[in-house]
Structure 1
């Protein structure tokens, strides 16, 4: 693998699924990676997966400003420059306008959306001195929706707008901002969704296969596939890309299901 991130410092939120995949890909490309999550079990698995790579895992509540600040500022001060920020932390929840209460709404907004603001806000002073790249992980649910995902889908659509606004504002400092919108990708979040479909204790594999069949390519995606797109958008190879949202959805949004 090319050492396309040699000498770079990267922050990644979300210590499982797409976040962990991105951290591993950046580290294999030579980056010094700081990864965070608020689930200790996921953090421990991430540490095991990162063995031999320059990845430091921390327990951080990305919805809490003090927790985010106390994670990022010492890294920025010790490293001198933050080159890459990947926001992948998120939760998948269900509910419509009748069943979603305000506590549910606020929790999803805080973890999925507020976190992107907080990490960007506190990392930006350490990025703008020499440019950098930010990638927010959104979802196809920011473009089109299933039933019963009101709060989740709202956060993902808002990430698209946030990406555009940040890209325009940050261009003057040579900081590029993009988002990706995955379809169904085999992650703990997707497995949680599959379990919701089949019921507790039942085999999730039929549901995973059904999710895959909804995509023209005929399967669910892999974390490695999303990680390669993230790495491209964080690298100098995408130096003229900013303000965009990039689909990694197996053709899902290109297909009319009629």
Structure 2
């Protein structure tokens, strides 16, 4: 079924690569007018929609973009950072940065764009906010994901709060919780772990071994779930936390 997002305007953060790029491309392919944002616009070369540089940790930049872009129907908050380590490896700077990028950025984006989404729903439209959480520690404990897990658990609370506060006004808000997904950032983590365990091959085995399906996920598989949540097909779905992790959290 094509054209699932015909007539809708969507904004995607961290759209330069990995899951964010897969979501932006899939939204555009399904008919949405997509504003793809990333800290580095070079990563957005070749994207068919609107491209904008955005630092989601800069409140003024987020507000300015919201004023410039105008109203949207779909907001996909994808930007995030995976800190490696236990509580003993997490100083105040690492804690603050992780929460700023993984949680407060979503607060900034939702606060800036929600008023225009409410205007569209008041006029009979439908709006969807999609937040990227994680299976790691937010649902199931994962080693060396202390502050990352804390932030992604916070994303779940944020998602449910927005969902319940605006359910009567026609704005839906849901969270996706992926397992390990192939992406440039994951490949960097494989390389880092490889230094600890002796090789990239052994590091790959570590990641794959915790996936009951015997493989890591693909970005397009996560994008397909985001597409469902963005479309009117999921009109009865809000406040949900959806694992898509190859059975890791079973």
Name the TM-score, length of structure 1 as normaliser: 0.89
Q: Distance in 2 between matches of 1:238 and 1:218?
A: 29
Q: Which runs of 5+ in 1 are unaligned?
A: none
**Which residue of structure 2 lines up, in the alignment, with residue 110 of structure 1?**
100
Quick check: 1:6 aligned with 2:17? Answer: no
Where do 1:48-197 residues align within 5 Å?
Answer: 48=46, 50=47, 53=48, 55-76=49-70, 81-129=71-119, 130=121, 131-141=126-136, 142-197=138-193
Q: Deviations over 1:8-61 (max 9, x none)?
A: 1001111221111110110000111111111x2xx323322x2xx3x2222211
Displacement of 1:73 after TM fit?
A: 1.7
Contact (CA 8 Å) 1:10, 1:84: kept in 2 or not? yes
Q: Are residues 1:47 and 2:28 paired?
A: no
Give distance in 2, aligned partners of 1:135 and 1:75. 18
Q: CA deviation at 1:209?
A: 4.2
Structure 1 ranges of 4+ moved more than 3 A: 202-206
CA distance in 1, matches of 2:132, 2:179: 11
Distance 1:100 1:110 in 2: 14
In structure 2, what is the equivalent of residue 28 of structure 1? 29
The 10-residue stretch of structure 1 (205-214 or 162-171) with the greater mean CA deviation from structure 2: 205-214
Give the 3-state SS of the residue equivalent to 1:98 in structure 2: helix
Report the CA distance shift for 1:69/1:203 in structure 2 as closer, same or farther (over 3 A).
farther
Q: Equivalents in 1 of 2:207, 2:100: separation in Å? A: 27
> 2: distance between equivalents of 1:209 and 1:13?
30
Work out the CA distance in 1 between the residues paired with 2:67 and 2:101.
20
| Cα drift, residue 97 of structure 1 | 2.1
Residue 65 of structure 1: how far off its partner (Å): 0.6
TM norm structure 2: 0.92
Per the TM alignment, residue 96 of structure 1 is displaced from its structure 2 partner at its CA by: 2.2
- CA–CA separation in structure 1 for the residues paired with 2:231 and 2:215: 28
- 1:68–1:118: 8 Å Cα contact kept in structure 2? yes
Deviation, 1:99, is 2.2
RMSD after superposition: 1.6
In structure 1, the residue corresponding to 2:45 is in which secondary structure? Answer: helix
Aligned-pair distance for 1:98? 2.1
Shift in Å, 1:233: 0.6
For structure 2, the 5+ residue unaligned runs are none
Q: The residue matched to 1:246 in structure 2 has which SS?
A: strand
Answer yes or no: is 1:218 the counterpart of 2:207. Answer: no
Distance 1:236 1:136 in 2: 17
Asked if the contact 2:8–2:72 (Cα under 8 Å) also holds between the matched residues in 1, the reply is yes
Partner SS for 2:37: strand
Aligned length: 242
